[in-house]
Chain A
Amino acid sequence: MTEPLPRLLVVIPAWNEEQTIAAVIDEVRQAVPTADVLVVNDGSSDDTVTVAERAGATVLDLPLNLGVGGAMRAGFKYALRGGYALAAQIDADGQHDPAHLPDLWEAMSRHGADIVIGARFAGEGDYTVRGPRRWAMSLLAAVLSKVCGTRLTDTTSGFKLMNARALATFAANYQAEYLGDTVEALVIAARSHLLVRQVGVAMRPRAGGTPSHDPLKAAVFLMRAFLALVISLSRPAAPLPEPARPDPVPEGVRS
């Protein structure tokens, strides 16, 4: 680690993840003992809340299911109000290894990035997706690399580290729609002049289910992804929310 890690909130969006959530929380604790862990329960019908609380996480319990994007925006708002300097997003199914969090932080401080993505296809690990879905993802990655001005190989990764600037932008703009938390979020980030970088991370196979290789599903995925992409690109750049940042900046400085 280059610099000491500032106050970090690890946000774990969880929807019916009672099987895996406790292990993920424990791993985060081990990897970054100083971080606070927030599980955003996205209207689960199982015991996710109790399990997560017992594992020692703070639980933000959404009364309705909002989708990953919705859960994450709630998490960002919590982070912003709690005055966190950094927030990380990790999947609750255990496919991301929290041990990589320090790597993400290292990359963030090295590049001065606002968002660092833990990418699956960047050399590290042996996670592969084949066939049409793979092509769809590479095509998406190529376009988004252009948009963000950096090489991105895994644009649909849910493993990210964001600083306060990115947090403020996302707390206002994170979309609850399909791929709104990944593809659209990257476009919003680029439009708001946030610096995006990626770091290769090893991914573990998901605890439940394997990525689908069905060409039809891949085609649907591609179409929806590009619809999201085209629409978010055609949108006028959102006026940068100059938010009330929690860290106190002396008032006189700006005049």
Chain B
Amino acid sequence: MSGYFFALTLCILTIAFLVLLLRRRWIREKYAVIWMVVAVGIAVLGAFPGLAVRVARLVGVEIPANLVFAVAIVTLLAVCIQLSIGVSQLDERVRTLTEEVAMLRLQTQTLQAQAQAPASAPTVAPADQAPRSATPPVSHTP
């Protein structure tokens, strides 16, 4: 069994795994695409090792393996940066949602307190439940 066959099997397994993840919606397509490209690239290089040698000669890299490594590092870097961007965007979204949740919660509380106020004793509202806010419920002006 040649090393090439081993590499090829690994690549096919990787691709199959990614497709599986995509089918189950465990990763979104925008993150999977770059991995697919990587897997296919490695598969092609594994199947036709002569390709790496030719490309290396073309761009002036002496050892083909170094070219493969360099490209791999750059690709991984790109993936990391993409992930960082994704996480930062998520951060911002969580932040906005947190703000909205807090405001909605306050609004509900105020409305609830107002609805309960006439029924229960109007003079002494329990401080823990009813926020004694002087402001009317926050109005959303679009």
- Residues of chain A at the chain B interface (Cβ within 8 Å): 36, 40, 50, 53-54, 56, 58-64, 66, 70, 73-74, 77-78, 81-83, 176, 244, 246
Contacting pair B139 A81 (CB below 8 A): yes
Minimum CB–CB distance from A228 to chain B (whole Å) comes to 15
B91 to A, closest residue via Cβ? A176
- Residues of chain B at the chain A interface (Cβ within 8 Å): 91, 94-95, 98-99, 101-103, 105-106, 127-128, 131-135, 138-142
- Selected from A58, A74, A244, the residue in CB contact (under 8 A) with B98 is A74
In the bound complex, how far is the Cα of B98 from the Cα of A64, in angstroms?
7
Contacts of A59 in B (CB 8 A): 106, 131
- Selected from A60, A83, A176, the residue in CB contact (under 8 A) with B139 is A83
Contacts of A53 in B (CB 8 A): 127-128, 131-132
Contacting pair A56 B138 (CB below 8 A): no
Question: Which 8 pairs of residues, A with B, have the shortest CB-CB distance?
Answer: A58-B133, A74-B99, A62-B102, A54-B127, A60-B102, A64-B98, A81-B138, A53-B131
Contacting pair B99 A62 (CB below 8 A): yes
Contacts of B140 in A (CB 8 A): 81
Contacting pair A50 B128 (CB below 8 A): yes
- Selected from B128, B138, B141, the residue in CB contact (under 8 A) with A78 is B138
Contacts of B103 in A (CB 8 A): 60, 74, 77-78, 81
Contacts of A56 in B (CB 8 A): 132
Contacts of B128 in A (CB 8 A): 50, 53-54
Instruction: List 9 additional A-B contacts (Cβ < 8 Å) besides A62-B101, A244-B142.
Output: A53-B127, A54-B127, A54-B128, A61-B105, A62-B102, A63-B101, A63-B102, A74-B99, A82-B135
Minimum CB–CB distance from B5 to chain A (whole Å) comes to 50
Contacts of B138 in A (CB 8 A): 78, 81-82
Contacts A/B (CB < 8 Å), 23 sampled: A36-B134, A50-B128, A53-B128, A54-B128, A58-B133, A60-B103, A61-B102, A61-B105, A62-B98, A62-B99, A73-B95, A74-B98, A74-B99, A74-B103, A78-B103, A78-B138, A81-B138, A81-B139, A82-B135, A82-B138, A82-B139, A83-B139, A244-B141
Minimum CB–CB distance from B126 to chain A (whole Å) comes to 10
A35 to B, closest residue via Cβ? B134
Contacts of B127 in A (CB 8 A): 53-54
In the bound complex, how far is the Cα of B102 from the Cα of A73, in angstroms?
12
Contacts of B101 in A (CB 8 A): 62-63
Minimum CB–CB distance from A81 to chain B (whole Å) comes to 5
In the bound complex, how far is the Cα of B98 from the Cα of A60, in angstroms?
11
In the bound complex, how far is the Cα of B134 from the Cα of A56, in angstroms?
9
In the bound complex, how far is the Cα of B101 from the Cα of A93, in angstroms?
25
Contacting pair B99 A58 (CB below 8 A): no
